[in-house]
Chains A and B, each alone.
Chain A
Amino acid sequence: MSETSSRLDLEHVDPDEVREETMIINMGPQHPSTHGVLRLLLELDGENVVSCQPIVGYLHTGIEKNCEYRTWQQGVAYVTRADYLAPFFNELGYCLAAERLLGIEAPPRAQVLRVLFCEMNRIASHLVWLATTGMELGAISMMLYGFREREVILDVFEAATGLRMNHSYFRIGGVIMDLPPDGPAQIREFLRVMPGRIREYERILSENPIWLERNRGVGHLSADRALAFGVTGPMLRAAGVARDVRKDEPYCGYETYEFGVPTASEGDCYARYLVRVEEMKQSLGIVEQCLDRLAEPGPVMVEDPKLRWPAQLEVGPDGIGNSPAYVRHIMEESMEALIHHFKMVTEGISVPAGEVYQPVESPRGELGYYLVSDGGHRPYRVKIRDPSFVNLQAVPAMLEGALVADAIAVIASVDPVMGGVDR
């Protein structure tokens, strides 16, 4: 890939203008601290960053285009692979948008399960952020602890959905199945140990001289500039703006949960660390409230047979699959059930024509789904407004006059997930 029409373009640079002392360095796309395949074109004057240009696209997989060629239900399996550290949020944004087009709402229990899984997912995502940031800034023990605790969350996900990532657990009209019988106990055990673990992280990092040196005052982004760049999520809240889609435009009944929106005022990497750690604590509180609400049984999918997925699924050794009892039913007992199953699976549901934009608060900020239907069986347009994609735009501004070592801390503090950036 060559750079055109940028000030770093080597082909069109007047040789007399090039200052001999600056150096152009490629950081990435294969670099351990670029969180995937992010490439930074850095112009360096010794140790100082003169300019920086982020280059993305190495992980473009055409998710939006693919969705146009699949049924509405199949779209869930595509979008969950976009921001792969926040799969539930992608599924949620897509399903909520499709449900608004259909004019339906998931049953209350499904909404509680959605909130529960999203908040567990937020903790898991922030843990990966804490672990990788720790690794990059020299706190290797934090890396080990972060991934250790994330594993516990992934075990919960695996028990409920059959998969550790890319779950396709939220479906249009609800969730695919209820928690397994031992699910609540598993989550309660996690809630019991996790607060102590978070205190441990804080003991390791919050007053650690190296951590402070690498993060405090680094990558400063003021609230005004953050808003101008479209930055959302913990990065914006660390600059003092309490913007959170869960509070501003509640979905899935978030207005009925008690939780705070942590903010900080410094707007530097350290403030982002404080905000994310506090968010993990808030999410633990929401998960606890979800568990209390789950005491009440109820359906987890809409009843309408024209909308709900026809099969009864259960978790097998390789993920979710049709239950043997259901296969027996359609193959041996009921011709009508087989016809219905065939029609729903091959043709899918049809969605009334229209357009919606549905934002949800992902661990990285406002994740928006803009869905357009032409009334057919396939989405006409699926646009994913991914927060990492937008937040990365602020990197050059945060690196103005910084040291090259700060680039590592700054990128880490953005927490970009390239699967979401490139889609």
Chain B
Amino acid sequence: MRPEELAERVRARVPEVTVARGEATVVVDRARVLAVLAEVRRDDDLAFDFLSSVTATDWPGRAPRFWVSYELSSTRHRHRLRVKVGIDEDDARLPSVTSLFPTADWHERETFDLYGIVFDGHPNLSRILLPDDWEGHPLRKTEELGGVDTRYKGAFVPPVDRRTT
């Protein structure tokens, strides 16, 4: 199906749909994200029953600061849809979609780990890629790319750009 036709079908369910570069994107607000995902999954013409990916982007200084995006696809119709939710910095939380898509478990943990976005109702929202005692969320734009102290035989070695010798 062409993305424009798909967008038409989605529009009947969710009005805020745009098409760019052959991809249909729906922008919804936080309160409706679970309902919209359930809706496009249930609908026979859409049947978005597969969640490929959940991730975020960070735009400091803008409102909303974070955009969380869900990449959906349909095993029956072979089409794709992106659902995007904007959330503010001081209230960076979203309902977890693990009840609808169990695969969201690790995706949401990764997004929490790297962006500090909290997914309410997640069964085990803990860090996944970084150690549990890590401070900060490295994929935020406010965090610099740079080394951290490395513990080696009980002492700490500073990162390469901060070594004096």
26 residue pairs bridging A and B, Cβ less than 8 Å apart: A1-B131, A1-B132, A3-B126, A5-B125, A57-B127, A57-B131, A62-B145, A64-B139, A65-B139, A100-B22, A227-B75, A228-B101, A230-B50, A241-B75, A249-B80, A355-B69, A355-B82, A356-B21, A357-B53, A357-B82, A368-B71, A370-B53, A383-B53, A385-B71, A390-B106, A422-B129
Pairwise interchain contact A368-B21, C-beta atoms closer than 8 A: no
Pairwise interchain contact A370-B21, C-beta atoms closer than 8 A: no
Q: Nearest 5 pairs between A and B by C-beta?
A: A230-B103, A385-B53, A57-B129, A60-B129, A248-B78
| A383 and B75 alpha carbons, distance in the complex (Å) | 22
Any B CB within 8 A of the CB of A4: yes
Binding site for B on A (CB under 8 A): 1-6, 56-57, 60, 62, 64-66, 68-69, 100-101, 227-230, 241, 243, 248-249, 354-357, 359, 366, 368, 370, 372, 380-381, 383, 385, 389-390, 392-393, 422-423
B139 to chain A, nearest CB (A): 6
* Residues on the A chain within 8 Å of B110, using CB: 389
Any A CB within 8 A of the CB of B102: yes
| A359 and B101 alpha carbons, distance in the complex (Å) | 19
| A243 and B77 alpha carbons, distance in the complex (Å) | 11
Closest to B125 in A: A5
Closest to B113 in A: A57
Closest to A100 in B: B21
* Residues on the A chain within 8 Å of B130, using CB: 57, 60
Pairwise interchain contact B131-A230, C-beta atoms closer than 8 A: no
Any A CB within 8 A of the CB of B164: no
A58 to chain B, nearest CB (A): 9
Within 8 A of A (CB), among B51-65: 51-53, 55, 57
* Residues on the A chain within 8 Å of B145, using CB: 62, 65-66, 68-69
Pairwise interchain contact B138-A356, C-beta atoms closer than 8 A: no
B61 to chain A, nearest CB (A): 12
| A223 and B97 alpha carbons, distance in the complex (Å) | 20
B48 to chain A, nearest CB (A): 12
Binding site for A on B (CB under 8 A): 20-23, 49-53, 55, 57, 69, 71, 75, 78, 80, 82, 101-103, 105-107, 110, 114, 124-132, 138-139, 145
A385-B52 contact in complex given A66-B145, A228-B102, A357-B80, C-beta closer than 8 Å: yes
* Residues on the A chain within 8 Å of B55, using CB: 370, 381, 383, 385
Name A's interface SS.
Answer: mixed
* Residues on the B chain within 8 Å of A359, using CB: 52
A343 to chain B, nearest CB (A): 23
Which of B20, B82, B103 sits near A229, CB closer than 8 Å?
Answer: B103
Pairwise interchain contact B129-A56, C-beta atoms closer than 8 A: yes
A227 to chain B, nearest CB (A): 6
Which of A66, A248, A372 sits near B57, CB closer than 8 Å?
Answer: A372
A62-B52 contact in complex given A57-B129, A230-B101, A354-B20, C-beta closer than 8 Å: no
| A60 and B128 alpha carbons, distance in the complex (Å) | 10
Known: A57-B131, A241-B75, A366-B52. 11 other contacts (CB 8 A): A5-B124, A57-B128, A64-B114, A66-B145, A249-B80, A356-B23, A357-B23, A357-B53, A383-B53, A385-B53, A385-B55
| A65 and B80 alpha carbons, distance in the complex (Å) | 26
Which of B22, B75, B128 sits near A243, CB closer than 8 Å?
Answer: B75
| A381 and B115 alpha carbons, distance in the complex (Å) | 12
Closest to B110 in A: A389
| A4 and B128 alpha carbons, distance in the complex (Å) | 11
Closest to B131 in A: A1
B141 to chain A, nearest CB (A): 8
| A202 and B75 alpha carbons, distance in the complex (Å) | 31
* Residues on the A chain within 8 Å of B131, using CB: 1, 57
A233 to chain B, nearest CB (A): 13
Closest to B77 in A: A248
Closest to A7 in B: B124
Closest to A56 in B: B128
| A422 and B145 alpha carbons, distance in the complex (Å) | 17
* Residues on the B chain within 8 Å of A60, using CB: 129-130
Closest to A243 in B: B75
| A4 and B22 alpha carbons, distance in the complex (Å) | 42
Pairwise interchain contact B138-A65, C-beta atoms closer than 8 A: yes
A398 to chain B, nearest CB (A): 14
| A383 and B138 alpha carbons, distance in the complex (Å) | 14
Which of B71, B101, B102, B132 sits near A357, CB closer than 8 Å?
Answer: B71
A69 to chain B, nearest CB (A): 5
